[in-house]
Amino acid sequence: MSIRTLDDLLAEGVSGRRVLVRADLNVPLDKQTGDITDDGRIRAVLPTLGALVEAGAKVVVCSHLGRPKGKPDAQFSLRPVAGRLGELLGAPVHFATDTVGDSARSTVEGLVDGQVALLENLRFNAGETSKDEAERGAFADQLAAFGDAYVDDAFGAVHRKHASVYDVPARLPHVAGRLVLREVEVLSKLTSEPERPYVVVLGGSKVSDKLAVIEALLPTVDRLLIGGGMCFTFLKAQGLEVGTSLLEEDMVETCRNLLERSSGKIMLPVDVVVADAFAPDAAHDTVRVDGIPSHRLGLDVGPETVAGFSAALSQAKTIFWNGPMGVFEMAAFAAGTRGIAEAITKADAFSVVGGGDSAAAVRALGLDESSFNHISTGGGASLEYLEGKALPGIAALEN
Ligand SMILES: Nc1ncnc2c1ncn2[C@@H]1O[C@H](COP(=O)(O)OP(=O)(O)O)[C@@H](O)[C@H]1O
Ligand SMILES: O=C(OP(=O)(O)O)[C@H](O)COP(=O)(O)O
- 189 flagged as catalytic: no
Which ligand is in closest contact with the Cα of 164?
2
Mutate to test the pocket of ligand 2, among 22, 25, 26, 122 (most ligand atoms within 8 A of CB): 26
Pocket of ligand 1, beta carbon within 6 A: 203-206, 228-229, 246, 298-299, 322-324, 326-327, 329, 355-358, 379
The total number of residues written for the chain in this structure: 399
Nearest CA-CA partner of 3 in 258, 180, 255? 180
pLDDT of residue 1: 53
Residue pair 79/36 in contact by the 8 Å Cβ criterion: no
31 CA from centroid of ligand 2 (Å): 18
Among 79, 161, 206, 317, the active-site one is 206
ipTM over 0.90: yes
Angle between helices 79-89 and 46-54 in degrees, nearest 10: 60
Catalytic option among 17, 18, 22, 41: 41
List % helix, strand, coil for the chain (3-state, nearest 5): 45, 15, 40
Annotation-wise, does 84 bind a ligand? no
Residue 377, CA distances (Å) to 29, 74, 211, 249, 386 in order = 16, 25, 21, 31, 14
3-state SS track over 69-129: CCCCCHHHCCHHHHHHHHHHHCCCEEECCCCCCHHHHHHHHCCCCCCEEECCCHHHCHHHH
Q: What is the pLDDT of residue 292?
A: 98
The total of other beta-carbon atoms located within 10 Å of residue 237's CB is 19
3-state secondary structure of 207: helix
Q: Which ligand is closest in space to the CA of residue 376? A: 2
| Predicted local distance difference test score (pLDDT) of residue 379 | 86
Res 131: pLDDT: 98
Residue 3 identity: I
Is residue 77 within 8 A of residue 34, CB to CB? The reply is no
Position 165 scores a pLDDT of 98
Is there a binding annotation on residue 67?
yes
Mean pLDDT by 10 residues, the chain (399 residues): 92 98 94 89 97 98 97 97 98 98 98 98 98 98 98 97 98 98 94 94 87 89 97 97 96 96 96 97 98 98 98 98 94 97 96 87 89 92 90 95
Cα 388 from Cα 61, distance rounded (Å): 29
